[in-house]
Amino acid sequence: MNPVTLAVDKALEFTVVGSFSRVGYATRSRLESWIDPPSLAGQRVLITGATSGIGFEAAARLAALGANITFVARDESRARSAMTALQSRSKNDRVEYLLGDTSDLVAMRRVAESVAARGTLDVLIHNAGAISATRTLSPQGFEVTVAAQLLGPFHLTRLLLPVLAGAQPGRVLTVSSGGLYSQRFDLATLELDGANYDGVAAYAKVKRAQLVLNHEWVHHVSSRDVVFHAMHPGWADTPGLAASLPTFYSLAKPWLRTPAQGADTLVWLAGARETSRTTGDFWMDRHPRFEHKVPWTRSRDSGRDQVLLWDWCLERTSRY
């Protein structure tokens, strides 16, 4: 990156609004002359949450690059519609779906067994995510935000490590959110109880936890076998945002990125050659980013946090 482009990028990142909005995407993509990753013909991609929004756009672009796409969805009617739309748009018939709720650990094992039976998996994308207005529990009794966006993905990743390693390296990509910048990791309050439940806070806490876990994965899996990356898409115009944060959505709508713009870094991480040579990073707009905007979200002992969270997830998922 030349000095002028670097200076513009840093200035955008400092403003936050300029960085996360469509302005950041438009400016960076033009200055850096972004191009698509190389062909993904023959590669297998598994993605959750692809029936709409960023997940749908990522699946469409990856399929257009030639990848074989399997997406995980909860509702069969929506899954069939999404599959048809993805095949039509990408001109690629190698798009299929598996039914499963990411909050259900038993369902994630079924998905993993089905995927593993077909051989090597090149890319696993954890995209499914939502803000819950009220506190609900997963089939195994965990708060559903934690179950769907942390425990389920952790379980699915562990089960698929053997087939991901066959890609040498496989890639595990996690879609996070700018909301994490508001939260410090605290395992004791990760699962909010009924009296203190706030769906927005629960979501942001889990997004912070995803990054903590992203760093810990690299201590358990060789980068020759599997690399791990997390990213956030900026502020994108998605059905989930409109439904969960209507006031913010109304105010920010003129500045929101399109779902395709929000998905760009995810697609790039899935296919760019350079992202197979690093691991454990947090990305936005095709560059590693700092994970803290304010000092009070920093941990006093991040290494200890990682180990504690890993053990916590392992204890809750290993029986399933």
How would you classify residue 91: left for phi > 0, otherwise alpha for psi between -120 and 50, otherwise beta?
left
Q: What is residue 194's predicted lDDT score, i.e. its pLDDT?
A: 84
Whole-model pTM above 0.85?
yes
What pLDDT is recorded for position 1?
75
Strand 44-48 vs strand 123-126: parallel, antiparallel, or unpaired? parallel
Contacts 24+ apart (CB under 8 A), 284-292: 284/19, 284/231, 284/232, 284/233, 284/234, 285/9, 285/19, 285/24, 285/25, 285/28, 285/29, 285/234, 286/28, 286/32, 286/34, 287/9, 289/13, 289/232, 291/180, 291/211, 292/181
Per DSSP (E only), the strands in 24-180 are: 44-48, 68-73, 95-99, 123-126, 170-175
Predicted local confidence at residue 240, as pLDDT: 85
Give residue-wise pLDDT tens across range 135-171: 999 999 999 999 999 999 999 999 999 999 999 999 9
What are the residue ranges in the chain where pLDDT is below 50? none
Q: What is the pLDDT of residue 40?
A: 97
Q: φ and ψ at 209, to 5 degrees?
A: -65, -35
Residues recognised as catalytic: 203
Strand order in the sheet with 170-175: 95-99, 68-73, 44-48, 123-126, 170-175, 226-231, 281-284, 287-288
Nearest Cα neighbor of 200 from 113, 134, 156, 254 is 134
Across 234-267, b (16+ Cβ under 10 Å) vs e yields bbbbbebbeebbeeebeebeebbbebbbbbbbbb
pLDDT in tens, 101-136: 999 999 999 999 999 999 999 999 999 999 998 999
pLDDT score, position 196: 84
Write down the pLDDT at residue 4. Answer: 86
